[in-house]
Structure 1
Amino acid sequence: MLAAITWGDGWGMELRQLECFVAVAEESSFTRAAARLHVVQSAVSATIAALERELDARLLERTSRRVELSDAGRVLLPKARAALDAAQDARDAVDDVNGGVRGTLRIGTMSSLGLIDLPSLLGRFHREHPPVSVRLATAASCGGSPGLVEALTEGRLDLAFVSMPGPPPVGAQWKDVTTTPLDLVVPAGHRLADRSRVALGELAGEAFVDFPAGYGNRAVTDRAFTAAGLTRHVTIEITAIGDGADFVRHGLGVALLPRGSAEPGDDLVSLPVTGADLDWPISLATSSDRTPSAAARAFQRLVDEHLR
């Protein structure tokens, strides 16, 4: 049975209750929280109700469409995360002594990681640490790299592969692990399609498919055009790298995409760009406020070995 956190006035909270509360708060849904915790929804509802009775406070405002935090819930959420982190730290410390790595590893990832072969990494990690379960969150589902970093600083992720301009925000730190060039992708009938390479200056006036401001690859492209004294027109914004080639294929514009993310064929051509710094950095981000779990440290070592 999970331990309870008890105060002098006679009421106490179980870690299970806090875990349910955090899951509902982060998912904004009892249904999604139940799926995340691998329990039935009625169990989540009953657990939250018991916690609200113990605290004598309404923690969640339920509407027909979503679940939102009450004022009391907003106060409790960071404290609940801290309590769960402390419990995880205690388990990790014991696992370290016993020479084992257990628990759940929550990884955020972009849809394209350049030279990093994530499926291969995860396969090796699973073979070396079979007791650890892995949960993946994608940039598309979180709002790109900024969303992944926010999830990391809020304690919803243990680490994340991101690409963001500027220094890390408060609560996060990262280490550059690889860079990938951005190539120009054009439809087969484009005026530049028969070239072997293209200069950045030749792209003035083109309509672009690109990512929203704040995304790492968008920042690389904007910086290159600004340095060259060029302006460009973005006609459509996307949030998944895998969609870029399809938008180009259907005539919505040209795109600067990570090398290898768009397979050239009869309908697409991929060209290197000269005269510009279009190297897209990818970093492994971790929390600067929390001690990484044993599983997170093991995965970081595996990434270092993979890149070497």
Structure 2
Amino acid sequence: MDVLRLTLRQLQIFMAVARTGSTASAAEAIALSQSATSSAINELERLLSLRLFDRTGRRLLLNDNGRALLPRAQALLEGAVDVERMGLAPEEQLQMLRIGASTTLGNHVLPRLLAEYLGDRHAKAASWHARLAINNSAEICARVAAFELDIGLIEGPSHEPALEVNPWLRDELVLVSSPTHALVQSTRTSGKPPTIDELRKAVWLVREQGSGTREASDAAVLPHLGGYQRSIELGSSEAIRSAAALGLGIASLSRFVIDDYVRDGRLIVLDSEMPHTDRQCYWVVHRDKHFTPALKAFVSLLERSAKG
């Protein structure tokens, strides 16, 4: 049997430096002196006969070798953590799962999933500290790719090559506005849906770049409009929904977001000359991710919810 020369502590220090970009910040994060941190990185590079970082002043930036080591080191460390967790209660394993979701799914779908996933376990536990992250799709994918999240739920395709992308729910995008919007009044008068030219001249309420909703709505709308002549960019679909209900403009939003506003009359779905649009939602994990029992249970729930 080969004698192992590397230690898990060296890999942990390597991960900390890769994450923070300096031995000083890494040392603070892992409660180690800066000199010991630097020595551990130098020894790791000596043992591997590879440079892992490019030095630029006080910054250490991963080079090709470091980027190749990163997922392998993370997988080894996660495996070691799993060994340490083997004696923990199932409830404690569940709360360690780190879930991320893009904003629409995080605000409107994830709470229901969590209620089914956790049941009453968290109410019975002496302590509970689950970690959830809600951000736009690009940020969630980046954090899953960096092993900062175990799994991500996103509203559009991923552009991170390190991720395994799995189709999940389908969502419908619809045009909405206030019932008092001029386009609605025009439609009621003429009996015809708004024309492309009328839509082009309207004020559009849109999400920020990087949002799955923005990517999907742009793909649905811009081939017909050619561009937004007038637009207001907002950082969440909920803000857009409220702005549309107040008559500030029209928007292309998820059914998950607008159904309750439509039911109580604050928004109306606009018929238009543009075709119906839906989009695929996905769950993503790192290609090198080790599936713990907790992660397997959550993925099984996602698969059941897609069939239901």
Fold conserved (TM > 0.5)? yes
Q: After the TM superposition, which residues 203-282 of structure 1 pair with which residues of structure 2 at under 5 Å, given as runs?
A: 203-228=199-224, 231-249=227-245, 252-262=248-258, 263-264=261-262, 268-274=266-272, 275-282=274-281
Contact 1:210 1:236 in 2 (8 A): yes
Aligned: 1:286 with 2:278: no
Q: Decide which of 171, 177, 182 is 1:191's aligned counterpart.
A: 182
Contact 1:115 1:180 in 2 (8 A): no
CA distance, structure 1, for counterparts of residue 201 and residue 100 of structure 2: 36
Contact 1:115 1:178 in 2 (8 A): no
Contact 1:193 1:269 in 2 (8 A): no
Residues 173 and 273 of structure 1, relative CA distance in 2, 3 Å threshold: farther
Residues 22 and 56 of structure 1, relative CA distance in 2, 3 Å threshold: closer
Equivalent position amino acid for 1:254 in 2 = I
Unaligned runs of 5+ in 1: 1-5, 34-40
Residues 133 and 295 of structure 1, relative CA distance in 2, 3 Å threshold: farther
Query: CA offset at residue 45 of structure 1?
Result: 5.3
Query: CA offset at residue 90 of structure 1?
Result: 4.8
Query: CA offset at residue 267 of structure 1?
Result: 9.1
Between the two proteins, the alignment pairs up a number of residues equal to 282
Equivalent position amino acid for 2:170 in 1 = T
Equivalent position amino acid for 2:199 in 1 = L
Contact 1:248 1:254 in 2 (8 A): yes
CA distance, structure 2, for counterparts of residue 51 and residue 162 of structure 1: 37
Query: 2:176 is paired with a residue of what secondary structure?
Result: strand
Q: Decide which of 122, 136, 154 is 1:162's aligned counterpart.
A: 154
CA distance, structure 1, for counterparts of residue 40 and residue 106 of structure 2: 50
Aligned: 1:180 with 2:166: no
Q: Which has the larger radius of gyration?
A: 2
| Alignment-derived partner of residue 102 in structure 2 | 110
| Alignment-derived partner of residue 76 in structure 2 | 86
Aligned: 1:70 with 2:60: yes
| Alignment-derived partner of residue 51 in structure 1 | 37
| Alignment-derived partner of residue 38 in structure 1 | none
CA distance, structure 2, for counterparts of residue 289 and residue 147 of structure 1: 19
Query: CA offset at residue 14 of structure 1?
Result: 5.2
Query: CA offset at residue 109 of structure 1?
Result: 0.7
Higher fraction of helix: 2
Same amino acid, percent of matched pairs: 18
Moved more, 178-187 or 298-307: 178-187
Query: 1:13 is paired with a residue of what secondary structure?
Result: helix
Aligned: 1:299 with 2:288: no
CA distance, structure 1, for counterparts of residue 282 and residue 213 of structure 2: 12
Moved more, 223-232 or 83-92: 223-232
CA distance, structure 2, for counterparts of residue 231 and residue 76 of structure 1: 42
CA distance, structure 2, for counterparts of residue 269 and residue 126 of structure 1: 34
Query: CA offset at residue 256 of structure 1?
Result: 1.4
Equivalent position amino acid for 1:170 in 2 = P
| Alignment-derived partner of residue 125 in structure 1 | 117
Per-residue Cα deviation, 1:238-295 (whole angstroms, up to 9, x for no partner): 3321221233356543211112424259994231444413213221112223333332
| Alignment-derived partner of residue 36 in structure 1 | none
